[in-house]
Structure 1
């Protein structure tokens, strides 16, 4: 077998693994008996525990950040990240993701660990009737992608920064425009939905984020890189 044949075999196998990882997760719940959580149902649950309508999205954000990584809550972020693209479109020069963590990448050859600060964003969206296109909320999504493209990981060119959207199940899929733009900019997009655990009271841990799906696996294939593991979150609830 020639070196060229080996290279094609490796790329084919690698691509299959990445695509399988993306497809196998899907937009799904942690367990088959769970029910995808809609915005309407979230509001009902929130009302039952004394959360007012104006606070539902903030309390959902708290739940998502606290539980999406079992045992490793995502800290709340209040830092601004510059975006020239958002400034050009909406006159707003920054974005403020709900959570920000480093991107940790392990390479095989050589065996080495790279840590890039501020290169993974987490954003919660308890919303209806949107697929989060680049123009959403005065080009907020565009700004996220732009900021990540110029993050420490994105600036090096051989690593894939990422954003994880944590949503209610009303977001059936992420906008095609957002997926294509992210791929061009070298940014991975992951999507996880919240689900309701049956027969559990709202005063107990009745919600759980599902495993996150990679919605633009092409960006990882192009960079010969695997997305970071994103299993289901731990059970939790919205709190007043």
Structure 2
């Protein structure tokens, strides 16, 4: 019965569209990259270096999480999750991982964002990245490895049966972010679904998170069809302000650019 509720709510949610968010082909030319993101936000506070990167990263996260596919809205997560794998890879220096957003998973509906109703809590991690470079398991002191490891021990990981729930890692990235194949492969090994979306600039000038694509569903659902997904609502980028407080895994725009849009420099936060 719970699985049926999840499906019905999903169908209702996807019907809530407005003129600029009707289904349409997504062109790579319309996807936002880190340089365009900086140009759209500017630098009204005249921030420099890593302070500017942090402000952009935090702002990007804050506008994405309330405007997710299935018309889902998440608050920024501050809860750490234990990861033995990250602990070992960082030589016992980092014991936890803090995803940007956390939600559940739903039996009978494999999706990165079960709409409103779910059967297994804290089984989907949402991570927003603006990165001109490669995002792999080792990035950010093994942040992504830690998320997959924590998800492999989440409530959905112990789900069984033909309509079982699956834990999911949902990555929302910029156009110039390349995903390392090791993320997909580790997800396969751990039975964790790995999803990815980009952010599209619509003809109205507003933005939209694209429909999630599953990178490894075909290898985990060997006898099932890959689930359909839908994009999020349109939203405006807003105005960049001072960066707020950040935690262990605070978002940082790591594109090796510093200061005003286009200025060169290396501010990589992951030595």
Pairing 1:186–2:196 present: no
SS of the residue 1:57 aligns to: helix
Pairing 1:45–2:40 present: yes
Could you tell me how far apart the structure 1 residues matched to 2:105 and 2:142 are? Answer: 24
Q: Compare the two structures and name the one with the higher helix fraction.
A: 1
Query: Any stretches of 5+ residues in structure 2 without a counterpart?
Result: 1-22, 110-116, 240-271
Contact 1:188 1:219 in 2 (8 A): no
- CA shift, 1:49, in A, is 7.2
- CA shift, 1:40, in A, is 0.1
**Segment drifting more, 226-235 vs 136-145:** 226-235
Could you tell me how far apart the structure 1 residues matched to 2:46 and 2:172 are? Answer: 20
Runs (4+) of structure 1 moved beyond 6 Å? Answer: 48-51
Q: Deviations over 1:165-221 (max 9, x none)?
A: 01111124x211111111000000000001112352xxxxx2111111001123431
**Equivalence for 1:160:** 166
- The 5-angstrom pairing of residues 69-148 of structure 1 reads 69-90=69-90, 91-106=93-108, 115-130=119-134, 132-148=135-151
Query: Any stretches of 5+ residues in structure 1 without a counterpart?
Result: 1-28, 108-112, 201-205
Could you tell me how far apart the structure 1 residues matched to 2:71 and 2:126 are? Answer: 16
Pairing 1:198–2:200 present: no
Could you tell me how far apart the structure 2 residues matched to 1:232 and 1:164 are? Answer: 13
Could you tell me how far apart the structure 2 residues matched to 1:114 and 1:126 are? Answer: 29
Contact 2:77 2:101 in 1 (8 A): yes
Contact 2:196 2:215 in 1 (8 A): yes
Equivalenced residue count is 199
Contact 1:183 1:218 in 2 (8 A): no
Could you tell me how far apart the structure 1 residues matched to 2:207 and 2:33 are? Answer: 12
